[in-house]
Amino acid sequence: MLGYLPRRLLQAVPTLIGVLLVVFFFVRALPGDPARLYAGPEANATEIAQVRKDFGLDRPMPTQFVYFLRNLTRGSLGLSFRNNQPATQVIAGHFLPTLWLSVAAIAMASILGIIAGIGAATNRDSPVDLGITVLSILGISTPSFFLGILFIYAFAVRLHLLPISGGPTAAGIVLPALTLAASSLGTIARFSRSSLLEVLGEDYVRTARAKGLHRTRVIGRHALRNALIPVLTITGLQFGFLLSGAVIVETVFNYPGLGWLLIQSIDARDYPVIQGLMLVFALEFLLINLAVDLLYAAIDPRIRYD
């Protein structure tokens, strides 16, 4: 276990270097000139040349790459083209709102999703199962921009119960989190249902029942622990996606998270921030996968890392 963690972290290093290379050259391959976009349609060639120089884009690409790496070793991603602030600071400012939103959404999705999954599995083929299945599929397949607009119309415009936006405040987070949770909730419910059904057919569950154990105990103690492993994987993955910023939900609710920042930065071809965001996203997925692997061991004692 103690050897495992550092080894996994070390393995991440080549991945991150690969990401760096791809990202640096990939953003520059995008059509569109950051200087032209920053200066706007009202700028003439002299101004654009000046802006390009201010951004350091007048240097040859290899030189830019060396500067980029040198900055990285100092913990800097360079200055944002869009607002001349350190890119690290810009990203950090949008990271926390996304983190809160993701945590709120994944908490709603996993708790409600697992409960719904258990409900459906234990009432297999009953109207309850059918209802949960239909709702889950609706949750997965309703586009979030549509669901978001419905929520805004109902809870903010009509009922004046909750604000549309307002950033990561307790009231401001409810609607975007709920919208964001809907699809994950559906996925998690579907997964828990099928996973639990599979486990319920296993011999050891039959044995537990034959022993005369109470139904709740059979499911809670014996079946659920095993059934949860695939659910955990999917929840981890969903969390990773949420953490990368929910572009659509953040746009609809005007929520200043990473997805919102990504859109703004791509629009402006803000290379330093786009590069930084890609690095952050890659890092998030690496860490979440690691955390999920470690959680396996906690849930299933048969899984050991050494």
Partner 1 sequence: MRHTIRLALASLLLLAGTALGQQTVRIAQSLSHNTLNPAATTGLADASVERVIFEGLVGLDKDLKIVPELATSWTISPDATVFTFELRQGVTFQDGTAFNADAVKAYFDWATDKNNKTSARAQSLYANVKSIDVLGPYEVRFTLTAPDATFLSNIALYNGRILSPASIQKYGADVGRHPVGTGPFKFVSWQEGQKITVEANDSYWGPKPKVQRIEFIEVPNAATRVAMLQSGEADFIESLPAQLVASVNQSPNLEAVISKSTYARIFPLNTHFKPFTDVRVRQALNYAVDKEQLVKVAVQGYGTVMDSPVPQTVRGYAAQTPYQYDPEKAKQLLAEAGYPNGFSFTVLTFNSTEFKTAGQVIQTMLAKVGVKVELNPTERGALVSQIFKPLSETQLEGSLVGASTPNGDADRTLTQSFATSSFPPAFNNWSFYSNPEVDKLIQEGRSTGDQAKRDQIYAQAQSIIWKDAPWIFLYSPDNIAGQSKKLTGVYYMPGQTIDARGAAFSN
> Which one of residues 12, 28, 50, 213 is an interface residue with partner 1 (CB under 8 A)?
50
- Its sign, for the CA torsion 83, 84, 87, 91, is negative
Q: How far is CA 288 from the centre of its chain?
A: 10
Residue 6 interacts with partner 1 (CB under 8 A)? no
Comparing CA positions, the residue from 71, 42, 41, 43 lying closest to residue 56 is: 71
> Which one of residues 12, 48, 72, 213 is an interface residue with partner 1 (CB under 8 A)?
48
Lay out the site mask for partner 1 across 183-222 (x = CB under 8 A, - = otherwise).
Answer: ----------------------------------------
Shortest CB 72 distance to partner 1, Å = 22
Q: What angle do CA 138, 134, 139 make, to 5 degrees?
A: 25
Residues in 228-287 at the binding interface with partner 1, rule: CB under 8 A: 251-254, 256, 260-261, 263-264, 267, 269
Residue 27 interacts with partner 1 (CB under 8 A)? no
Shortest CB 3 distance to partner 1, Å = 42
Q: 86 in helix, strand or coil?
A: strand
Shortest CB 276 distance to partner 1, Å = 14
What are the E-state strand segments in 170-254?
none
CB atoms within 10 A of CB 2: 8
Q: Are 51 and 39 in contact (CB under 8 A)?
A: yes
Q: Which C-beta is closer to partner 1: that of 18 or that of 93? A: 93
Q: Which C-beta is closer to partner 1: that of 23 or that of 252? A: 252
Residue 86 interacts with partner 1 (CB under 8 A)? no
Distance CA 113, CA 49 (A): 54
Single out the segment in contact with partner 1 by CB under 8 A; choices: 18-26, 57-65, 79-87, 225-233: 79-87
Single out the segment in contact with partner 1 by CB under 8 A; choices: 62-70, 104-112, 164-172, 201-209: 164-172
> Which one of residues 65, 166, 283, 294 is an interface residue with partner 1 (CB under 8 A)?
166
Q: Are 156 and 163 in contact (CB under 8 A)?
A: yes
Beta bridge partners of 79: 86
What are the E-state strand segments in 183-228?
none
Residue 43 interacts with partner 1 (CB under 8 A)? yes
> Which one of residues 54, 58, 293, 300 is an interface residue with partner 1 (CB under 8 A)?
54
Residue 130 interacts with partner 1 (CB under 8 A)? no
Distance CA 139, CA 152 (A): 17
The count of chain residues that interact with partner 1, using the rule CB under 8 A, is 49
287 burial class (0-12, 13-18, 19+ CB within 10 angstroms)?
Answer: middle
Distance CA 112, CA 116 (A): 6
What residues line the site for partner 1 (CB under 8 A)?
30-33, 36-48, 50-51, 54, 82-85, 90, 93-94, 149, 152-153, 156-157, 160, 163-167, 251-254, 256, 260-261, 263-264, 267, 269
